[in-house]
């Protein structure tokens, strides 16, 4: 079994913000799998599905970004899922809008949601799919930037990126991490 978690902040005011790229990708994956992510459990909205012959639990933590780890840890403990089977999809300001980067493990890189997950799981050894949202402008506060909404052009790019991130999550399970990394990490996003 895999847990696939998309990170974001709950609430209408955060929809289509950069920090909710993980929610957008998880919604796209749920659409691709024909799964509803509406069950309230583990401080999250959850949905169950299958990728290949593998059971998956789709998770959208409702704890707000900085406490994402609480939700993911609760789900992992309940289903007894090891960290290497917990895939996290989230926004990354070091990648161009729409660019994907799959990693087997790694540090938080300044991302508070990932910091929370590392703290709650006690390890950095979990796969992740980063969805690029672009670098913040020089004189702008980081929190204002990641909580800001996409432009219309960015919104179209991010819709495509969300779908692709959903496909990438499936590829990790169906084809393996190396094959998925080779396919999706090589692609360059639109500038």
Determine which one of 19, 42, 111, 149 is catalytic: 19
Length in residues, the chain: 191
User: Distance between CA 103 and CA 88 in Å, rounded?
Assistant: 10
187 pLDDT band (50/70/90 cuts)?
confident
Which segments of the chain are extended strands (E)? 2-6, 39-41, 44-51, 54-61, 86-92, 100-103, 128-132
| Helix ranges (DSSP H) in 43-139 | 68-79, 112-121
pLDDT recorded at residue 190: 43
Is the confidence at residue 149, as pLDDT, over 80?
Answer: yes
The answer to whether residue 149 is catalytic is no
191 has pLDDT over 90: no
Residue 131 has what pLDDT? 97
Query: What sign results for the dihedral spanned by CA atoms 129, 131, 137, 140?
Result: negative
CATH class of 2-184: alpha beta
Angle between helix axes 152-175 and 21-33 (nearest 10 degrees) is 60
Close Cβ partners of 19 (under 8 Å, ≥ 6 residues apart): 7, 8, 9, 65, 91, 146, 147
Tell me how far apart the 2 most distant CA atoms of the chain are, in Å: 49
d(Cα 57, Cα 139) in Å, to the nearest integer? 40
- Tokens 């496909």 correspond to 167
The verdict on pTM exceeding 0.85 is yes
**pLDDT confidence of residue 146:** 93
pLDDT of residue 10: 96
Phi/psi of residue 92, each to 5°? -140, 120
Each residue of 80-138: pLDDT tens digit? 999 999 999 999 999 999 999 999 999 999 999 999 999 999 999 999 999 999 999 99
d(CA 169, CA 70): 22
pLDDT value of residue 188: 61
Q: Are 3 and 72 in contact, with CB atoms under 8 Å apart?
A: yes
Q: Residues 35-82: pLDDT tens digits?
A: 999 999 999 999 999 999 999 999 999 999 999 999 999 999 999 999
3-state secondary structure 150-186: CCHHHHHHHHHHHHHHHHHHHHHHHHCHHHHHHHHCC
pLDDT at 186: 78
Residue 3 has pLDDT above 90, yes or no: yes
Mean pLDDT of 17-26: 97
| Domain map (residue ranges) of the chain | 2-184
| Residue 36 CB neighbours (<10 A) | 14
């Amino acid at each position: 079994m895999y847990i696939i978690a998309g990170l974001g902040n709950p609430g209408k005011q955060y929809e289509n913000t950069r920090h909710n790229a993980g929610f957008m990708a998880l919604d796209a994956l749920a659409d691709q799998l024909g799964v509803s992510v509406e069950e309230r459990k583990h401080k999250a909205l959850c949905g169950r599905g299958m990728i290949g012959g593998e059971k998956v639990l789709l998770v959208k933590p409702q704890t707000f970004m900085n406490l994402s780890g609480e939700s993911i840890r609760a789900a992992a403990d309940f289903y007894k899922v090891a960290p290497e089977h917990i895939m996290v999809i989230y926004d990354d300001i070091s990648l161009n809008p729409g660019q994907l980067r799959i990693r087997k493990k790694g540090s938080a890189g300044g991302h508070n949601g990932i910091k929370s997950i590392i703290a709650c799981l006690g390890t950095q050894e979990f796969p992740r799919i980063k969805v690029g949202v672009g670098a913040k402008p020089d004189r702008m506060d980081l929190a204002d930037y990641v909580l800001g909404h996409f432009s219309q052009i960015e919104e179209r790019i991010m819709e495509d990126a969300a779908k692709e991130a959903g496909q990438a999550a499936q590829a990790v399970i169906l084809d393996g991490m190396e094959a998925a990394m080779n396919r999706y990490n090589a692609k360059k996003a639109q500038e």
